[in-house]
Amino acid sequence: MKLEPIQPPGWAAPKGYSNGVLAPAGSRLLAVAGQIAWDAEQRLVGREDFALQFRTALANVVAVVRAAGGGPEHLLQLTIYVTDKSAYLASTRELGTAWKELVGRHYPAMALVEVADLLEEGAQVEIQALAALP
């Protein structure tokens, strides 16, 4: 099963995301709850390290997708909530490295939203996702 990136004619190609992603007919839709930088015992990892929190939250998203029978290439959409957009921007190199290691060169439709706070004390990143599974 292959997801189809959608690029409107004449638009410049986006970097690090897709403008749209089309799931093929017959795929199953998986909604992944917002994942933060929790370990398996729900202890927050990297309390002061934005890039580590991003990596851990993304790894948790991928783990949920794998548990449902898919892989990172089945990610359709991500919404990334951050408490500090400047920390996100300052960490782009580390975030790119984490992305390539965990997801590869697949880029779903994405949005970044800066929020005042997240539910778990000390969490700086939360990632919610949709995946289309075969």
The model's pTM: 0.93
Q: Token digits for 16?
A: 């690090």
Pairing of strands 28-35, 4-6: unpaired
- DSSP letter assigned to residue 53: H
Beta-strand runs (E) in the chain: 4-6, 20-22, 28-35, 75-82, 109-114, 125-133
Instruction: Compute the residue count for the chain.
Output: 134
The model's pLDDT over 3-58, given as tens digits with 9 standing for 90+, comes to 999 999 999 999 889 999 999 999 999 999 999 999 999 999 999 999 999 999 99
Work out the burial of residue 24: count CB atoms within 10 Å of its CB; fewer than 13 is exposed, 13-18 middle, 19 or more buried: exposed
Which amino acid is residue 83, in one-letter code? T
The model's pLDDT over 43-77, given as tens digits with 9 standing for 90+, comes to 999 999 999 999 999 999 999 999 999 999 999 99
